[in-house]
Chain A
């Protein structure tokens, strides 16, 4: 394996892990509410901006990161309470526009409070690259990958072995039945936004040292996370992870071997091709319309 290839693979997997975390957020909220939350990318932005602002203000590093993520979760729950819940049963398009309104609102708030500039966050454990097979791997990339793996296992445990997790799965499978079984579907809804915001927030602080933070950093991340979720089959968490990695690696390879100008287009070309061949995504299966 050439050093170049390895280098592209490292950066692709790192970026892909972020898409996967954002895509997971899409899937979790979709499962609980059939809503596509276009403000998912803003969760990433909020955590990064808030943490950087706190660090610049002199707060201890770890505390700043935790506070950034916590703030994101609060915003996520508030979004559900004040914008999604009052609009239950609205049409798909209406809900899409509400979440887009929310994303504009959040970007506006971020610019107001944090300014429009680009800001950087120091890496968690320095910038001394680790050389593997001739390719350089930043310690921050290891952080991203390690935390993503931990999150995936923690989520698996949450969904399979805790009461709240099982309730969320049941609600995704059949909301009406879940409600009849005594599951508090409203709580599940709040929980799903909290969880999605938590994932977005963690992604936000993890990648902040790699990509700078600014008020619109979440826009493309959100869209590509959506790509990842759709690619894997909407509502399938493992699909979102696979989709995220696929998008990340393809992007890095395209940028490395073909053209960096069209790097951002890769995700969307892949999604179009996949959807044309498999209208339900890679792992979505074929659905039969019931009449």
Chain B
């Protein structure tokens, strides 16, 4: 049983190829990590899965449907959600409204009911506002419920993106370097948070450089190098894979 299946995926920008003939599958209910040196194509892969980039060739299956040609907002509807390496918080909105945008698909996004502020719209908005507050509490942002997004510190914005991504009520959550810029204490909290999210049945996929976090949370690891699959397996398998040790961990011993 697989939730996400990527088949022979390639993406090139002009002459240079960022992802080359990549195939892998992710089963539901697990925590996956995608690792690899800078420029290995990890973020490009996330952009392909979430639909911000169109692949040059190959197919992406999600939940047994071919989503290769779907635009990003339709993929969100299928149950895909993500955070960004370079924060993409809506800085023109309040923190709470950022999370409320996450509930967009659950709210009534039609024009006339909103224009006339029909009671049904107001009621549903109020319900989801309560849920959004709960979600902010869940990610540890209870102090920022009334804050404007542009007045929040970096670490809090990362959590805000996480809360917004969870509000989409996804089957699969893609986290792009969630630990980047966090101190060890914050990373430990993140570790716990990711486990809690997975425990709710949401499949988590992370791109991460912090190897301590990767070893700690991942059930399954995919190693990329120059857009190709170098290895895949459990943490133990990866740590004892000669190719990986040579190509990545060897020169990048600092990551341990």
Contact = CB atoms under 8 A, between A and B. Distances in A.
Touch test A–B (CB under 8 Å): yes
Interface of A: 288-291
Nearest to B88: A291
Interface of B: 13, 43, 47, 52-53, 84-86, 88
B92 to A, nearest CB: 11
A288 to B, nearest CB: 7
A291 B13 contact: no
Contacts of B47: 291
A290 B86 contact: yes
A190 B47 CA distance: 40
Contacts, number: 11
The SS class assigned to the B binding surface is loop
Contact of A289 (B43, B52, B85): B52
Contacts of A289: 52
Nearest to A290: B86
11 contacts: A288-B13, A288-B53, A289-B52, A290-B86, A291-B43, A291-B47, A291-B52, A291-B84, A291-B85, A291-B86, A291-B88
A290 B47 CA distance: 10
Given A288-B13, A291-B52, A291-B86, 4 more contacts: A289-B52, A291-B43, A291-B84, A291-B88
Contacts of B13: 288
A243 B123 CA distance: 54
A129 B47 CA distance: 62
Contacts of A288: 13, 53
Contacts of A291: 43, 47, 52, 84-86, 88
B221 to A, nearest CB: 24
A289 B43 CA distance: 13
A173 B141 CA distance: 39
Contacts of B52: 289, 291
Contacts of B43: 291
A283 to B, nearest CB: 15
B31 to A, nearest CB: 23
Nearest to B85: A291
Shortest 5 CB-CB contacts between residues of A and residues of B: A291-B84, A291-B88, A291-B86, A291-B52, A288-B13
Instruction: Pick from A288, A289, A290, A291 the residue with the most CB of B within 10 Å.
Output: A291
A200 B13 CA distance: 38
Contacts of B88: 291
A202 to B, nearest CB: 38
A279 to B, nearest CB: 15
Contacts of B86: 290-291
Nearest to B82: A291
A45 B86 CA distance: 45
Nearest to B43: A291
A290 B43 CA distance: 10
Contacts of B84: 291
A250 B85 CA distance: 47
A290 B44 CA distance: 10
A291 B46 CA distance: 10
Contacts of B85: 291
Contacts of B53: 288
A34 B88 CA distance: 22
Nearest to B84: A291
A288 B85 CA distance: 16
Nearest to A291: B84
Nearest to A285: B14
A288 B43 CA distance: 14
A93 to B, nearest CB: 14
A179 to B, nearest CB: 21
A186 to B, nearest CB: 27
